[in-house]
A and B are shown apart, each in its own frame.
Chain A
Amino acid sequence: MTNKKDEKKGSRYERNESIFQWILIVSSIILLLILIGIFVTLPLNSMDSIKEFGLRFVISTDWSPQKELFGALPFIVGTLLTSFIALLFSIPFALSIALFLGEYFTHGIISTILKSAVELLAGIPSIIYGFWGIFVLVPVIRMLQIKLGIAPYGVGIFTSAVILTIMIIPYSASIGREVIQLVPNDYKEAAYSMGATRFEVIRQVILPIARSGVLAGIILSLGRALGETMAVTMLIGNVNKLPDFSVAVPEGFSLFSFNSYVTLFDNILKGFLDGVFSPSNTMASIIANEFTETTTDLQLSSIVEIGLVLFIMTLIINLIGRYIIKKTSVM
């Protein structure tokens, strides 16, 4: 009798085990199917505009629902500019926070407060960032623009980049902190025992080992910046044109006059500032604005094609990121 009971028990446990495995397999397949679904739906729904414009779509600057001419270049440039400027600004902050929390203050009340604050930043809904941007950041940027002598829009690429910076810092900071904390103590102690200063340990032991992890966090934050919609669409000015980096050639420019060069340099600087601060538009923003109210099938298909371009761009950047991470990985 005891044998029979044991046998029954065994088969019930085995059944539960295999049901559990089955659930896991099914969930994974569903996830894969969803990804394939996105991968397939995007080109399928943009067939109309792919056939109409071909590769011209990616280099054309038209966007006219009336003339039915569409091109994605202004949005591609806007997305890349805002995201990479935000990345540039965020790296020093993220790295500093990661080092501070990962190396200097790993436990204790300061660490807890700072860690929670950084993670809270990641949890703020992006539309709140948009509101804050409109009421607080835009007037500040406007004052800056007046000081620099350029058009005082307040909104534009620079403003969006600043808000993106704040939004993406938590991602690279948190991952960076984890990776830096994970650097084995043996390596650090070995370096200290050889007389290294704290800074030398950070620079020559911790960072090289944590490098690939920190880079992974940075790539993650870049991915977030590329796809951010709400905060950017409220702060970018919604102008469907390329940012204006044009430089005015000074009147009566002479190769031999020192003043000419001074004016030229001034104009180059003004052109650069005009461009960086100019209102523009990003791929995510134009989709958010126009998707619900496209008037023609071609316009809808063009909007979906912009989504496809964004998807491909994110994919490429992620692949490049993974390649970089693999190459810099020490462990």
Chain B
Amino acid sequence: MKNALRVLLILGLALGLAVPVLAVDELSGAGATFPYPLYSKMFDAYASETGVKVNYQGIGSSGGIKELTNKTVDFGGTDAFMSDEKIAETGADIVHIPTCLGAVVLTYNLEGSPELKISQDVLADIFLGKITSWNDDAIAALNPGVSLPDMDIVVVHRSDGSGTTNTFTVFLTKINDEWADTVGKGKTVEWPTGLGAAKNSGVAGMIKQTPGAIGYVELAYATENGMPVALIENSSGNFIKPDLMSTSLSAEGDIPEDTRVYLADTSAAEGYPITTFTWIILYKEQNYDGRTLEEAKALMDLLWWVTHDGQVHCEPLLYAPIPEKAVGSVENLLKSITYDGKPILD
């Protein structure tokens, strides 16, 4: 009896020690729900191609940054890039790798799902709580052919820390002084009005179930659920429908070497004004907390695939792929990731 127990104990220990060596077939990431539909598809395809399983949890951009800072995941996902101060606070250098471009759309729940045009001022006023009824004159003036009901507007926003919120509020801050003074921008803001729901999926769900609701979600969440999207006025005065073309056009301006830039309120005449890159964030120096070279290499192989072969998955889900002119910067960024000072990719 005692001998059997002893053998079992040794076996258990052996297996326990063996597990880390066997487990480089799994990578973990957490963060933004903005690209979640895309990452789901990509990582599924990657697993069938290479056998490496990637576990990505959509917990919001703030969550992604926090998990990476705590080193509990291999990589984080965020659509609100970290500022130099924030990176300095983590005590190590963090690199942002853009994976795609996406659009933040305004979706709503009205009978008949009419296609609405919303100007920049009306948009800000709705979210400031100044326009409270769907048949308000301001909205009616923009949409002459549509019969708007006499219903309260129920604003829905994010209750968790969100890169999608950041993109939306960056846009509102740029185009509306009152918003800039009273609310400002950020992953979490003090909303003047509206209900809160967690994650893009929560906001989409709440809008779908609440008549008269309006809120902001990533494009895929609206289209996959058959919900209408609004045409938003951009800086050229055109009302643009969010789709693949208008999203790609919004990246016309200069993109810096480290790709950390806000794309909202683009100057492109036919560009949709509320778009953003979404980034995968990871440590520049991959030898930390006992990480092995194999683990770092597995991560880099994944990221190279995501930014090259994996880009084919973007368009079917209405995400725009990394623009041509940024590909060079992306490759440089990937090659800058080191293990013990030596670049992992060549």
Contact = CB atoms under 8 A, between A and B. Distances in A.
B187 A295 contact: yes
Nearest to A63: B190
Given A151-B154, A237-B196, A290-B161, A138 B209 contact: yes
Nearest to B212: A152
Interface stretch (B56-64, B137-145, B246-254, B324-332): B56-64
Interface string B151-173: 01010000111000000000000
Contact of B66 (A64, A66, A239, A293): A293
Given A134-B209, A292-B59, A295-B62, A66 B198 contact: no
B268 interface: no
A290 B66 CA distance: 12
B188 A66 contact: yes
Interface in B168-195: 184, 186-190, 194-195
B228 interface: no
A66 B160 contact: no
Nearest to B202: A234
Interface in B255-296: none
Contacts of B194: 239
B197 interface: yes
A239 B190 CA distance: 10
A194 to B, nearest CB: 59
A289 interface: yes
A134 B194 CA distance: 17
B30 to A, nearest CB: 10
A139 interface: yes
A238 B154 contact: no
A64 B191 CA distance: 10
Contacts of A293: 59-60, 62-63, 65-66, 160-161
Binding site secondary structure of chain B? loop
Nearest to B188: A65
A289 B194 CA distance: 17
Interface string A281-295: 000000001101111
Nearest to A62: B190
B211 A295 contact: no
A62 B195 CA distance: 17
A123 B66 CA distance: 34
B210 interface: yes
Contacts of B190: 63-64, 66, 240
A93 interface: no
A289 B198 CA distance: 8
Given A65-B188, A151-B154, A295-B187, A289 B195 contact: no
A153 B210 contact: yes
Interface residues of A, number: 24
A291 to B, nearest CB: 10
Contact of B154 (A134, A153, A295): A153
A151 B194 CA distance: 11
Interface in B46-99: 59-60, 62-63, 65-66
Contact of B209 (A65, A139, A292): A139
A295 B66 CA distance: 8
Chain A interface mostly: loop
Size class of B's contact patch?
20 to 34
A213 interface: no
A231 interface: no
A238 B159 contact: yes
A155 interface: yes
Nearest to B67: A292
A229 to B, nearest CB: 13
A138 B65 CA distance: 34
A138 B197 CA distance: 14
A294 B67 CA distance: 11
Contact of A239 (B60, B184, B196, B205): B196
A279 B155 CA distance: 12
Contacts of B211: 142, 152
B160 A289 contact: yes
A66 B161 CA distance: 12
A208 to B, nearest CB: 47
Q: Which of A65, A154, A238, A294 has the most CB of B within 10 A?
A: A238
Nearest to A151: B152
Contacts of A154: 209-210
A33 B72 CA distance: 28
Interface in A123-159: 134, 138-139, 142, 151-155
B181 to A, nearest CB: 13
Contacts of B161: 290, 293, 295
A118 B110 CA distance: 41
A15 to B, nearest CB: 20
A279 B209 contact: no
Contacts of B160: 289-290, 293
A171 B180 CA distance: 50
A292 B63 contact: yes
Contacts of A295: 62, 161, 187-188
Given A66-B186, A238-B159, A292 B66 contact: yes
Given A63-B190, A290-B161, A293-B60, A153 B198 contact: no
Among B154, B161, B189, B197, residue most surrounded by chain A Cβ atoms (within 10 Å): B161
Nearest to A237: B195
Nearest to B193: A239
Contacts of A240: 190, 196
Interface of A: 63-66, 134, 138-139, 142, 151-155, 237-240, 279, 289-290, 292-295
Given A239-B194, A295-B188, 10 more contacts: A65-B186, A142-B211, A152-B154, A153-B210, A154-B209, A238-B197, A289-B196, A292-B63, A293-B59, A293-B66
Q: Which 7 A-B pairs have the closest CB atoms?
A: A238-B196, A293-B62, A238-B159, A293-B161, A293-B63, A237-B195, A64-B190
28 contacts: A63-B190, A65-B186, A65-B188, A66-B189, A66-B190, A134-B209, A138-B209, A142-B210, A151-B152, A152-B152, A152-B210, A154-B209, A155-B195, A237-B195, A238-B195, A238-B196, A238-B197, A239-B195, A279-B195, A289-B159, A289-B160, A290-B161, A293-B63, A293-B65, A293-B66, A293-B160, A294-B66, A295-B188
